[in-house]
């Protein structure tokens, strides 16, 4: 069996994945996708990919486009482009979670700066503004009043990308200064950690200085995490939850999960579980 791991920025995680794949007797290649081009109207390239591709690109659009191209050539990719589309866009994720009855923060979307103030008033301050596409807590802002909101909107309006001129607003959920990251692989939680906000930071992303500590999820959390993972299409996912007053609340599902922090905290063999799942999937 041959496994191709596609990347555009090689991290510790990809090196661990290669190591585990080799230990499991799997022929593995690392493919730097920045070197590739495709005739997308033609046939599958002869020197194409292995039996299955594990998509690990750090760029969302690059990852999505490549997955689409490979799937069009009949190559099996984990995660699928459908999963990538749902998880990569917070608007789609929020709508799906709510529709499935999974507790998720109340979310308003405003289609221009003309309606964003009214949307925030309707939602109630403080409001959390997030980019539709993005990660690591980047550009996530907390507006405690209309003045702060106005400043954020003014800044976003000055950006060139039209997606910045639409607004995704969420209620600020009262919670302990931490959230939960559960790594789900093939319908099983393989690691779960608290992400404890660092210093004065309110965001709980590891990229923003949060520290991780492992814990064992209870039945309620396990159920909601697995339900969310299945809802978005399954595969290898990072499901983020908050401990709200109403119970566990899912606020995000990540498609290309980073697990360096979780692995250090939990000592779980996350890379091994991922590779085992990919090998299992290739044989199905």
CA distance 250 to 163: 24
Q: Distance of CA 116 to CAs 119, 128, 164, Å? A: 5, 12, 12
Q: Distance of CA 215 to CAs 94, 191, 195, 198, 230, Å? A: 26, 8, 11, 18, 22
Please, which residue, 11 or 144, has the CB nearer to another protein?
Answer: 11
The closest of 73, 104, 115 to 231, measured between CA atoms, is: 104
The binding site for another protein (CB under 8 A) comprises 7-11, 15, 30, 32, 34, 58-62, 131, 133-136, 138-139, 161, 238, 254-258
- Tell me the closest approach of the beta carbon of residue 122 to another protein, in angstroms: 28
Please, which residue, 123 or 241, has the CB nearer to another protein?
Answer: 241
Please, which residue, 12 or 151, has the CB nearer to another protein?
Answer: 12
- Tell me the closest approach of the beta carbon of residue 56 to another protein, in angstroms: 11
- Tell me the closest approach of the beta carbon of residue 255 to another protein, in angstroms: 7
- Tell me the closest approach of the beta carbon of residue 176 to another protein, in angstroms: 22
Please, which residue, 105 or 131, has the CB nearer to another protein?
Answer: 131
- Tell me the closest approach of the beta carbon of residue 231 to another protein, in angstroms: 18
Please, which residue, 79 or 282, has the CB nearer to another protein?
Answer: 79
Please, which residue, 9 or 267, has the CB nearer to another protein?
Answer: 9
Peptide bond into 126 cis (omega under 30): yes
Within a 10 A sphere around the Cβ of 91, how many other Cβ atoms?
14
- Tell me the closest approach of the beta carbon of residue 112 to another protein, in angstroms: 20
Task: Report the side by side order of strands in the sheet with 167-171.
Answer: 107-110, 167-171, 127-130, 141-143
Q: Hey, is 6 helix, strand or coil?
A: strand
CA dihedral 69, 18, 85, 39 (to 10 degrees): -10
The stretches of 100-145 forming alpha helices (DSSP H) are 113-123
């Amino acid at each position: 069996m041959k496994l191709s791991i596609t990347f555009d920025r090689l991290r510790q995680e990809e090196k661990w994945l290669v190591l585990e794949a080799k230990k499991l007797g799997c022929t593995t290649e690392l493919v730097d996708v920045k070197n590739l081009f495709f005739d997308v109207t033609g046939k599958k390239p002869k020197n194409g990919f292995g039996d299955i591709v594990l998509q690990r690109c750090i760029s969302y659009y690059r990852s999505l486009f490549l997955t689409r191209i490979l799937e069009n050539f009949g190559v099996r990719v984990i995660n699928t482009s459908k999963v990538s589309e749902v998880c990569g866009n917070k608007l789609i994720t929020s709508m799906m979670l709510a529709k499935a009855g999974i507790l998720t923060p109340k979310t308003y979307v405003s289609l221009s700066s003309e309606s964003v103030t009214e949307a925030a008033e309707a939602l109630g301050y403080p409001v959390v503004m997030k980019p539709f596409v993005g990660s690591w807590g980047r550009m996530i802002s907390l507006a405690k009043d209309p003045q702060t909101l106005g400043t954020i909107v003014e800044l976003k309006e000055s950006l060139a990308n039209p997606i910045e001129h639409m607004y995704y607003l969420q209620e600020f959920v009262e919670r302990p200064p931490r959230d939960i990251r559960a790594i789900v692989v093939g319908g099983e939680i393989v690691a779960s950690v608290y992400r404890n906000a660092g210093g004065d930071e309110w965001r709980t992303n590891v990229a923003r200085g949060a520290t991780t500590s492992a814990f064992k999820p209870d039945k309620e959390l396990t159920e909601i995490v697995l339900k969310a993972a299945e809802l978005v299409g399954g595969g290898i996912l990072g499901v983020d939850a908050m401990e709200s007053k109403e119970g566990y609340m899912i606020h995000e599902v990540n498609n290309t999960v980073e697990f360096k922090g979780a692995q250090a905290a939990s000592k779980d063999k996350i890379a091994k579980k991922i590779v085992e799942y990919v090998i299992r999937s290739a044989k199905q």
